[in-house]
Amino acid sequence: MGLLFGICIAVCIFMSFRYVVIVCFQKNFLSVETIIMIMYLYISLLLGFGVIYLICIQSSIPVLQEAGNVTTGGYFDNLFTSLYFSAVTLFSLGYGDVVPVGIGRFLAVIESLIGYVLPAVFLARTVIGIEK
């Protein structure tokens, strides 16, 4: 069941990217609508990866460690830890208090890569749009 939810979340993240790309490649790139779409994309990425981490934790797949111990606890504790780790990873802060293990490392690499590339793409697209 967790795998099905993970696939659904991945599809939702992909659809968010698709919609943002459609909006970003319109003629008037630097607009309020574009900024709102990019904020929407960041929020959907943060929530999507956070829920994927949560599904793994709830399915007893170790993906995160706090203070050297695999994350355990209640549902809301795991939810807040997953969302916190997702935000720290997406925005490239990396405090080190929560670290990925196992398949969580792969997920964290993908999320941090998206977090690095997205602002660069936005900036490059803005510069190209201004030059035209």
DSSP string, 7-41: HHHHHHHHHHHHHHHHHHTSS--SSHHHHHHHHHH
pLDDT of residue 58: 87
d(CA 49, CA 51): 5
Phi–psi pair at 38, nearest 5 degrees: -70, -40
Give me the amino acid identity at 81: T
Q: 68-121 pLDDT, tens per residue?
A: 788 778 888 899 999 999 999 998 887 888 999 999 999 999 999 988 888 887
Mean pLDDT for the chain overall: 81
Model pTM score: 0.82
Given a contact cutoff of 8 angstroms between Cβ atoms, the answer to whether 97 and 67 are in contact is yes
Q: Which CATH architecture has domain 2-131?
A: Orthogonal Bundle (1.10)
pLDDT exceeds 60 at position 34? yes
The average pLDDT across 8-33 equals 70
SS3 60: coil
Residue 79: exposure state from Cβ atoms within 10 A (0-12, 13-18, ≥19) = middle
For residues 5 and 90, what is the distance between their CA atoms, to the nearest angstrom? Answer: 21
60 class by beta-carbon count within 10 Å (0-12 exposed, 13-18 middle, 19+ buried) = exposed
Query: 22: buried, middle or exposed (CB in 10 Å: 19+, 13-18, 0-12)?
Result: exposed
Task: Detail the DSSP E strand segments found in the chain.
Answer: 64-66, 69-70, 98-100
Mean pLDDT of 4-25: 71
